[in-house]
Structure 1
């Protein structure tokens, strides 16, 4: 890791030189691709939710007189893309597919770090439904939240079971609408995430399929992005934001904090039991790692390929030059975390070598 240490030191010097040459922003605006919940509004499933709940970013920038604003979007990733396009936010917590769609449409962003890896996908159905497996979906009405990072995974899960999206009667519903539709028998089944455990535990739905323990290619990834224009004008502030997210990732990866982590995430309105189910038999350090390793890069490339094939995007999107891990590397060195997380290869298995992408 000596080469990484020398690189991080050089970057820190360059960053310090740049700091004196710019005026800090009055406000840092962070968009989150979920409606969230609680008071104040927060979200779970990401170390970012820990930073939010504990006001770590607000504390970081308080002495500088910089205000931190969190904006939550019921319209998820597509709504975040619109906000980025209109320069209404500076940073974005967003899933892989919508961020790729944004990039394909000309949004100039940089991926700074991962903030929620290997998120699971589930298929749920009414309790008394005859749907028992993915293959039972043929010809049935199924909710899929299109344009989100669960969309492509759902399509790939269907394909792995001999079905195409055209074999089902897909309806595009957001999370709340899908839950209402399923409970009232308006749809036969629904794809979604951890939010369905609450409905299951209320006796209103059953989980008939889970990606837990399956090929990690069937999982969803989420990252922290920054508008390129903001990053170029405010490198010092970007570094401080990344520092806080890495601190949150470290805390969220410690197994001794598992129970407290789920309690913090439960402030969003998703019960502790749901987080326990989502993370069952899964190491926190794997799910909450910030590393942009070979697995993450490979997953983003796979999503690009799938999105092109399904015509969700119209042109090729480059990935290798999208991840800008300079700030992440500097944060890891500063906090003594260069060897804390395991890097994974393209297939999701532990890999030897550099812990983060080369750039």
Structure 2
């Protein structure tokens, strides 16, 4: 009888310990990095995540960054827990040994980045870029587009003169004719089309997929997996709303960035939002980007993109 009682007590204790282990600790705050023009800015200004987390006693702190590389440096040093960037910045962060994980990704949106030239330019094809000065943000998503477009046209990266400039400086150089072409992404792409009549030579369609990736520090994602998943869920809900209400989304992003609403409407017309869990196929696409950057010397080391896989299965 004593053995039965002792066994029952041990079983009850084991259940209690297991339940406690499975109960996830709730963070007091979630620190999210955002840029004025990305989906987290839309989430910030709508306020739905703040409202949802407030019910759980979680404070959302929004930290603004000028670009993806700086944001992922913040993720690496622990000043933020979550971020959203394009394809290229995570590979550079991984090369720098940042311990991040890929939580999810957007749908491919290749029409949102392009090589553009002035309206009256003699450049008609990618092959015509040979020997020309091409402005771009070094190590960015469009750097991958440019390399891929040149190779597809039978040229190489050494056949052009890259002029590495951030978007604002590239825009000024493009307008005054200091560069022959500009490789850029939305909403800057939509702005230069609208304001100067810039002509598209080639977008990323058929060349590179171009994703937005939703990222977290591994420490945060592993410690607070349900919180991380809740953010992904919120991004999915927000995406459904934005895809169905592009004018409202354009209004919010116009207020965030200072760009006119019609420019954002133009950009959003080719920018599908979404939040999908990572797959082997998407990791393979991201590995191609990393390998290409290593090949042309932009990445100093070979990067194993899949090392940033988040192992939690959604139940």
Normalising by structure 2, we get a TM-score of: 0.82
Correspondent of 2:308 among 318, 322, 328: 322
State the number of aligned residues.
295
Runs (5+) with no aligned partner, structure 2: 1-17
Correspondent of 1:78 among 69, 72, 75: 69
Higher helix share: 2
Larger radius of gyration: 2
Deviation at 1:263, TM superposition (A): 3.5
Indicate conservation of the 8 Å contact 1:28/1:69, yes or no. Answer: yes
Cα RMSD of the aligned pairs, angstroms, is 2.7
Which residue in the other structure is 1:25 paired with? 27
Normalising by structure 1, we get a TM-score of: 0.73
Deviations 1:208-238 (A, max 9, x none): 32326x31x4231111111011222223322
Which residue in the other structure is 1:257 paired with? 245
Indicate conservation of the 8 Å contact 1:308/1:315, yes or no. Answer: yes
Deviation at 1:289, TM superposition (A): 4.6
Q: Do residues 231 (structure 1) and 221 (structure 2) align?
A: yes
Indicate conservation of the 8 Å contact 1:144/1:172, yes or no. Answer: yes
Indicate conservation of the 8 Å contact 1:292/1:325, yes or no. Answer: no
Q: For residues 19 and 193 of structure 2, what CA distance do their matches in structure 1 show?
A: 51
Which residue in the other structure is 2:258 paired with? 269
Deviation at 1:275, TM superposition (A): 4.3
Q: Do residues 56 (structure 1) and 44 (structure 2) align?
A: no
Which residue in the other structure is 1:335 paired with? none
Q: For residues 231 and 60 of structure 1, what CA distance do their matches in structure 2 show?
A: 18
Deviations 1:71-108 (A, max 9, x none): 2322x222123212221111111122210111122111
1:1-359 alignment to 2 at 5 Å?
Answer: 18=21, 20=23, 22=25, 24-32=26-34, 34=35, 36=36, 43-44=37-38, 46=39, 48-74=40-66, 76-115=67-106, 117-119=108-110, 120-194=112-186, 195-202=188-195, 204-211=196-203, 214-215=205-206, 217-253=207-243, 256-267=244-255, 268-278=257-267, 280=269, 284=272, 288-324=274-310, 326=312, 329-330=314-315
Q: For residues 21 and 294 of structure 1, what CA distance do their matches in structure 2 show?
A: 28
- Give SS of 2:148's match: helix
Q: 1:116 to 1:21 in 2, by over 3 A?
A: closer
> After the TM superposition, which of the residue ranges 239-248 and 135-144 deviates more from structure 2?
239-248
Q: For residues 198 and 79 of structure 2, what CA distance do their matches in structure 1 show?
A: 39
- Give SS of 1:249's match: helix
Deviations 1:179-227 (A, max 9, x none): 111112221211001212222212x241232326x31x42311111110
Runs (5+) with no aligned partner, structure 1: 1-14, 37-42, 331-359
Q: 1:112 to 1:21 in 2, by over 3 A?
A: closer
Q: For residues 301 and 311 of structure 2, what CA distance do their matches in structure 1 show?
A: 25
Which residue in the other structure is 1:39 paired with? none
Q: For residues 117 and 270 of structure 1, what CA distance do their matches in structure 2 show?
A: 24
Deviation at 1:19, TM superposition (A): 6.7
> After the TM superposition, which of the residue ranges 162-171 and 242-251 deviates more from structure 2?
242-251
